[in-house]
């Protein structure tokens, strides 16, 4: 009987561990774990001040199992910092607009594998999880979803725990600041490990110089783009306003051109670009507090959204796989946290 009892106890423990395994694997627990050296490691804020919000955020307690799984997969994609920076694809506004025309059933994405490698660019295909690079002008920037937060950010309130939303406009525009936001595409700087300089991007926004934004492509299936008729007239404005649901989210790198003329800013010529954190500290750099009003509204909440969000629970991340977009690229992923910056000369 003693042997049977021990055997039974072992089976119970094994079963419990197998159930817990999905939440203790890398990126599956209650805390955020990038699973790789983050792409902006040299300037990252470490340790991650937002580590308490896991890779898949939270879901409403009222969500069905299917809804919870879909939201967890969406949040995991939003917080992926392990895209392969050695394989960057240059995209433009035409490409991101054409990608919007793809027939995608937003309500049946499952584990989101069907969003990968969906659009041809040259000899390859890109999709969610692909690392892309875009030249644009910044129209403005602001703290996103502060009053109530997002599930991916655990429904927290405050500038430091929410994304910085960046509408980008075509650099070919004659007057970028006058471009309708419905013609923009979106970039998002997430709060995890966010560099100090990036956290002030909404208050020190480079509006006059083109930017080069590098990051992961993400399909924002929770929203709708603006709608245009056959003549190009905007017939319906959706929020947030944009022309395509394909975002650069998260941002992995933000560079500013040393010239104000976009024609002089060759996206492939690194000599023309300066990392934002260095550029903003340079004498003569021109910025504007484009998100000042929204930041003040956010700060005035003092961490207490109105109305208070409904009850939530930690999301159960989908199991890691080679297809889910969080597999570190070769040569990366050996560090759970950003590698320290090399000593300056």
Question: Rounded to two decimals, what is the model's pTM?
Answer: 0.86
Res 29: pLDDT: 66
Give me the average pLDDT of each 10-residue run along the chain (345 residues). Answer: 41 33 50 98 98 98 96 98 98 98 94 97 97 99 93 95 98 93 99 99 98 99 96 95 99 99 98 99 98 96 84 92 47 41 39
65 exposure class (CB count in 10 Å sphere: 0-12, 13-18, 19+): exposed
Please list, residue by residue across 25-55, b when 16 or more beta carbons sit within 10 angstroms of its beta carbon and e when fewer do. Answer: ebbbbeebbbbbbbbbbebbbeebebeebbb
Res 305: pLDDT: 83
Res 307: pLDDT: 79
10 Å Cβ neighbour count for 143? 24
Res 290: pLDDT: 98
Q: Three-class SS of residue 78?
A: helix
Res 304: pLDDT: 86
Res 137: pLDDT: 99
In this structure, what token pair is assigned to residue 153? 């950010």
């Amino acid at each position: 009987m003693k042997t049977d009892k021990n055997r039974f106890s072992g089976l119970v423990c094994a079963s419990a561990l197998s159930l817990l395994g999905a939440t203790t694997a890398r990126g599956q627990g209650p805390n955020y774990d990038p699973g790789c050296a983050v792409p902006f490691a040299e300037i990252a804020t470490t340790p991650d001040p937002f580590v308490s919000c896991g890779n898949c955020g939270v879901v409403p307690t009222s969500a069905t199992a299917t809804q919870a799984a879909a939201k967890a997969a969406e949040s995991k994609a939003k917080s992926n910092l392990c895209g392969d920076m050695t394989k960057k694809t240059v995209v433009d506004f035409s490409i991101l607009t054409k990608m919007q025309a793809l027939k995608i059933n937003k309500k049946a994405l499952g584990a989101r594998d069907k969003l990968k490698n969906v659009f041809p660019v040259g000899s390859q295909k890109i999709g969610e999880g692909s690392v892309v690079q875009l030249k644009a002008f910044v129209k403005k920037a602001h703290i996103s979803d502060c009053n109530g937060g997002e599930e991916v950010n655990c429904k927290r309130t405050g500038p430091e725990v929410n994304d910085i939303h960046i509408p980008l406009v075509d650099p070919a525009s004659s007057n970028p600041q006058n471009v309708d936001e419905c013609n923009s595409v979106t970039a998002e700087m997430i709060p995890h490990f966010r560099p100090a300089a990036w956290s002030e991007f909404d208050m020190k926004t480079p509006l006059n110089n083109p930017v080069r934004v590098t990051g992961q492509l993400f399909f924002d299936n929770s929203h709708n783009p603006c709608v245009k008729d056959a003549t190009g007239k905007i017939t319906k404005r959706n929020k947030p306003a944009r022309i395509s649901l394909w975002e650069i989210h998260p941002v992995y790198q933000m560079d500013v051109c040393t010239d104000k003329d976009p024609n002089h800013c060759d996206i492939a010529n690194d000599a023309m670009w300066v990392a934002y954190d260095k550029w903003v500290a340079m004498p003569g750099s021109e910025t504007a507090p484009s998100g000042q009003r929204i930041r003040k509204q956010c700060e005035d909440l003092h961490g207490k959204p109105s109305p208070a969000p409904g009850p939530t629970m930690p999301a159960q991340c989908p199991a890691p796989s080679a297809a889910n977009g969080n597999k570190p690229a070769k040569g990366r992923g050996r560090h759970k946290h950003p590698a320290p910056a090399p000593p300056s000369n």
